[in-house]
Amino acid sequence: MPAQEVPTERLDNLAREAVVTVFDSMINETVTWLSRACLMENPSGDILAKLPISKGLYAIVVNWVGDAKGKVMLVLPKEAAEHFAMKLFDVPSLDWLEGDSEEALQDSLGELGNMLVGLVKGGLTKWYPNLALTTPKVLKNRRMKVDTSTMSFRRQYHFEGLGSELMIDFCCE
φ, ψ at 129 (rounded to 5°):
-65, -20
Q: What angle do CA 172, 58, 76 make, to 5 degrees?
A: 80
| Residue 22 pLDDT greater than 50, yes or no | yes
Please provide the size of the chain in residues: 173
pTM: 0.89
pLDDT digits (tens, 9 = 90+) for 23-81: 999 999 999 999 998 887 887 888 988 899 999 999 999 988 888 888 899 999 999 99
Burial of 145 (0-12, 13-18, 19+ CB in 10 A): exposed
pLDDT digits (tens, 9 = 90+) for 8-19: 788 888 888 999
CB atoms within 10 A of CB 163: 11
Name the percent of the chain lying above pLDDT 90: 49
Residue type, position 20, single letter: V
Residue 2: the pLDDT is: 46
Q: How far apart are CA 48 and CA 92, in angstroms?
A: 28
Domains along the chain with CATH numbers: 3-172 (3.40.1550.10)
pLDDT digits (tens, 9 = 90+) for 144-164: 887 777 878 888 999 999 999
Closest CA to 86 of 162, 173, 165: 162
Mean pLDDT of 91-96: 89
